[in-house]
Structure 1
Amino acid sequence: MVKVNQSPIGRIVPRHAESRLVEALSDTRVVLVNGARQAGKSTLVAQVARDRDMAWYSFDSPDTLNGARRDPVEFVNLAPRMVIDEVQRNPEVLLPIKELVDREFVPGRFLLTGSARVLGLQNLPDTLVGRMETITLWPLSQGEIDDAPDGFVDAILDPDTEIRHDSDLARRDYVERVVRGGFPEAVAREGRRRRSFHDAYVADLINRDVVQLSEIQHGREMRRLLNLVAARSGQLLQPAKLAALLQISRSTVEHYLALMEEVFLIRQIPAWARNTTTRTVRTPKVALVDSGVAAAVLRQNPDALARQDGELGGLLEGFVAMELARQLTWSESGAEMYHYRTKDNVEVDIVLETPAFEIVGIEIKATSTPRAEDFRGLRHLQERTGDDFLGGYLLHTGPRTISFGPKLRAVPISALWETAAPGA
């Protein structure tokens, strides 16, 4: 029997990913819900599986895990439809799953969850290419927490939609959201208890999941690297410089960074370039997946961040970038997220590009009074992309939407989660 566990915040939060999951189960033999630990994967899967008469098996249970290891072929035949929770603990079951679904084409035969990028695990016996759909579940978005539309991405990528948004949120309100982050346990706590959760989360992730992916003997080095990466949220990711600061090899830094991505601790944002003849910088930027974790790693005090001279910029940019990344997972646009920077230091924090090569640029500023000069990078991008440029938005902490010329607007950050998608 599938049981839905009680949410830490006292209510089951509807997830935007649920409709995608239901759709995938209707025509795909194996569906994987992948994402950060404690993001709510098991709760989401339990809700969906409960109405589909699916048997539940979790590899967090030692007995279940040992049984699956002893005879994985027998294990995958235990029920006509199965949920396997935390499948990354025993990837040996994936090959028997492949053999079974190749014999029997049954949509929704297996529903898997994983807390690491399963197809990147070492010693994986085979893949499920063409047989499996992967749905990534991030920590809660602001719209999911507030029961708000979360339709900003689709709205700005629709040429017929005009963004007009006013907000009553002030800098302090945004600081509270950044420090809170999106993990349900953190949303349910405040102050010191919230920081205790974030500290324990990082420690467990490095000591448990990272060790599972790769034998790491110097966990302290990885923690120091995480501190450096968090301090560079929104900046270029340069492994050679990080290696010099830590006095370790560049290859070790690159290995650690890859592991951090595997366990959904960080996300790299690739550079955008339309062709190879420009003076575009090709180095990716980096953000921590959860802004609350980033703030805790940096030991940032909310009172200090709320001051006008507080070091909010990098954390706020990472917060916005990951809200956009979340929305892209349920957006109808098919857009991808990049950043843009030239060798002359003209930059745009976020660039969204659709499959039709339409472009939207987004700048993030921890200011309530946007200025014309803040649009330098967006104007450059507009000139370069011409008719493909759908719009440029400067997201700020002030109360109103302000026009700064054709297709250029300063918009309060809360528009991210309070804007409805076209037709919603």
Structure 2
Amino acid sequence: MFTRFANQSIADALKDTPVVLITGARQTGKSTLCRQLVKDGIFKGESVTLDDPATLAAALADPLGFLLDLGKHVIIDEVQRAPELFLSIKKLIDEDRKGRRIILTGSADVMMLPKVADSLAGRIEIYHLWPLAQSEIHGKPSGFLKTLVSKDAHFPSRKSNWEQIIQIIKAGGYPEAVQRESEARRAKWFESYIIAVLQKDIRDLANIEGLTQLPNILQLIATRVGSTINLSDIARLSGVKNTTLQRYTALLEQVFLILRIPAWTPNAEGQFVKSPKIVLNDTGLLCHLRGEGESLIENRTTAGSFLENFVVMEIIKQLGWFDDFLKPYHFSIHKGAEVDLVLENRKKQLYGIEIKSTATVRESDFRGLKRLAELAGDKFQKGIVLYTGEQTLGGFGGKNLHAVPVSALWAP
């Protein structure tokens, strides 16, 4: 079993928060995490899943009675299947805020459902569980973000192996897929997984006629990771109307298969890109959808978008248990400089991260970071180029600009 670093934060939340919601795509380990909370004695109560037809029927028939029968401490799995429960949860929490503790898990973003967010405002704490981060697979918390935001700390040089990096990208972070012994077995798992999510989780959210079109749309999105999304282009290739495509991509986002990274734009005139980038939640899934494997080892250019998706998601996973607030963006100027990932704290201070699949770095690799620093002024704190070499390097035209091995992402 893998250790999830969100465990302690969830344990702390249960001390003073009546409802804890754990969201994440199907098979990311939400139920396993809940079982661990019970095993460790952090939570004591009954556990039910709404994937069970009889349990779901009881919850839909009489939401309040269903909850009362379960007791004051309960875990309800796959709660998106019965959004009718939320008003009854609100009623019970308002009657006994200190005595009740409810853990909810959802394979879809239930906070996007009508009236759900309002019903639990001020009563709920939300945690998101992505597929495993590399530091969770290795069982050692990463010090990457702490070093990034620290003024005095520096990234040490790290051993790096290109073939190993590609193997990490191909395996991804889904617990079941990571433990498969061969690529063929992993491919079988991903095939079944995609069918389960698209036919079950999305059907729970919307009764759509074009369910058979979603695999093709997801595949088209996968070919465009690392770039700003052009829905009109995907609509043309898929034969789906633009308005329908917007609905489909929103559903894919709601079941956490894709994630939009908004654009950071300064308070200045210029041809700044304002469209979001889209990344897939897992590079194992990305490799499966694009049919890429060993060929990535030989072609670093092709591997670039896979590495970018991997790094962006790895950092987003770490943000889930990092103490400081950092919001992810990307930065780009039309036909000009760009930065793959920009992290902004509550003080509007910026940390820029450029991602390169090369084993060496050049002065030109810092072009986007330097432009970002010019626009942000004193708000710019640090810029790094994550690359596949081994040395941490400075001297790129600024004391806060460094090249850092990508393996620093999972180093303690």
> What is the TM-score when the length of structure 1 is the normalising length?
0.92
Q: Give CA-to-partner distance per residue, 1:12-36, whole Å, 9 cap, x none.
A: 2111110110111111111111111
Q: 1:153 to 1:181 in 2, by over 3 A?
A: same
1:256 to 237, 248, 252: 248
Give the % identical residues: 38
| Residue 321 of structure 2: aligned partner | 330
2:238 equivalent among 243, 246, 260: 246
Residue type of the alignment partner of 1:336 = K
143 and 30 in structure 1: CA distance in 2 versus 1, 3 angstrom threshold: same
Cα distance in 2 for residues equivalent to 1:21 and 1:84: 15
* Equivalence for 1:392: 383
Paired residue secondary structure (2:347): coil
Structure 1: how far apart are the matches of 2:114 and 2:165?
A: 40
Comparing 374-383 and 241-250, the one that deviates more? 241-250
Q: Is residue 28 of structure 1 aligned with residue 20 of structure 2? A: no
3-state SS of 1:165 partner: coil
**Residues 57 and 44 of structure 1: is their aligned pair in 2 closer, same or farther, counting only changes over 3 Å?**
same
Q: Which residue type is aligned with residue 311 of structure 2? A: V
Alignment of 1:176-195 (within 5 A): 176-189=167-180, 190-195=182-187
- Aligned with residue 54 of structure 2, among 42, 59, 63: 63
Alpha-carbon deviation of 1:123? 7.8
Separation in 2, partners of 1:241, 1:73: 47
Give secondary structure in 1 for the equivalent of 2:119. coil
Give the whole-Å Cα distance in 2 for the aligned partners of 1:143 and 1:108: 34
Task: Kindly indicate whether the alpha-carbon contact (under 8 Å) linking 2:384 and 2:402 is maintained by their aligned counterparts in 1.
Answer: yes
Residue in 1 that maps onto 2:219: 227
1:107-155 residue CA offsets vs partner (Å, 9 max, x unmatched): 6521111110012236859631111111111110000001232221222
Give the 5 Å matches for 1:51-200: 51=41, 52-78=43-69, 79-106=71-98, 109-121=101-113, 127-167=119-159, 169-189=160-180, 190-200=182-192
Secondary structure of the structure 2 residue equivalent to 1:91? coil
> Is the 1:68–1:75 contact (alpha carbons within 8 Å) kept by the matching residues of 2?
yes
Q: Structure 1 stretch 344-353 or stretch 210-219: which is displaced more? A: 210-219
- 2:78 maps to a residue whose letter is E
Corresponding position of 1:5: none
Pairwise CA distance, 1:160: 2.0
Corresponding position of 2:209: 217
- Partners of 2:59 and 2:315 lie apart in 1 by 38
Residue type matched to 1:175 in 2? I
Q: Could you say what secondary structure the match of 2:125 adopts?
A: strand
* Superposed CA RMSD: 1.6
Whole-angstrom distance in 1 between the partners of 2:387 and 2:191: 29
| Structure 2: stretches of 5+ with no match in the other structure | none
Q: CA deviation at 1:311?
A: 1.4
The 8 Å contact of residues 157 and 333 in structure 1, kept in 2 or not, is answered as no
Counterpart position of 1:414: 407
Q: Which residue of the partner structure matches residue 8 of structure 1?
A: none
- Partner of 1:4 in structure 2? none
Distance, in Å, in 1 between the alignment partners of 2:117 and 2:218 is 31
CA distance 1:163–1:295, shift in 2 (3 Å): same
Please give the alpha-carbon distance, in whole angstroms, between the structure 1 residues aligned to 2:300 and 2:6.
38
Per mean C-alpha deviation after superposition, the further-off stretch among 186-195 and 61-70 is 61-70
Return the offset for 1:181. 0.5
Select which of 339, 352, 356 maps to 1:348.
339
1:402 is paired with a residue whose SS is coil
Q: 1:195 to 1:108 in 2, by over 3 A?
A: farther
Partner Cα distance (1:108, 1:146) in 2:
35
User: 1:102: how far off?
Assistant: 0.6
Q: Distance in 2 between matches of 1:397 and 1:222?
A: 34
Contact residue 72 and residue 99 of structure 2 kept, 8 A: no
Partners of 2:5 and 2:141 within 8 A in 1 = no
Instruction: For residue 284 of structure 1, report the CA deviation from its aligned partner.
Output: 0.3
Q: How big is each residue's C-alpha offset from its partner over 1:287-307, in whole Å with a ceiling of 9 and x where there is no partner?
A: 000110011000112x21001
- Indicate how the Cα distance of structure 1 residues 304 and 310 shifts in structure 2: closer, same or farther if over 3 A, else same: farther
Q: 2:324 matched to 1:306?
A: no
Paired residues of 2:266 and 2:375 also in contact (CA < 8 A):
no
Partner residue in 2 for 1:270: 262
Deviations 1:69-101 (A, max 9, x none): 222111111212111111111111111111010
SS at match of 2:158: coil
* Deviation of 1:410 (Å): 1.1
Match of 1:357 among 328, 339, 348: 348
Deviant stretches of 4+, over 4 Å = 122-126
Deviations 1:257-290 (A, max 9, x none): 1000000000000000132534311100010001
3-state secondary structure, aligned to 1:281: coil
1:175 is paired with a residue whose SS is: helix
Aligned length: 406
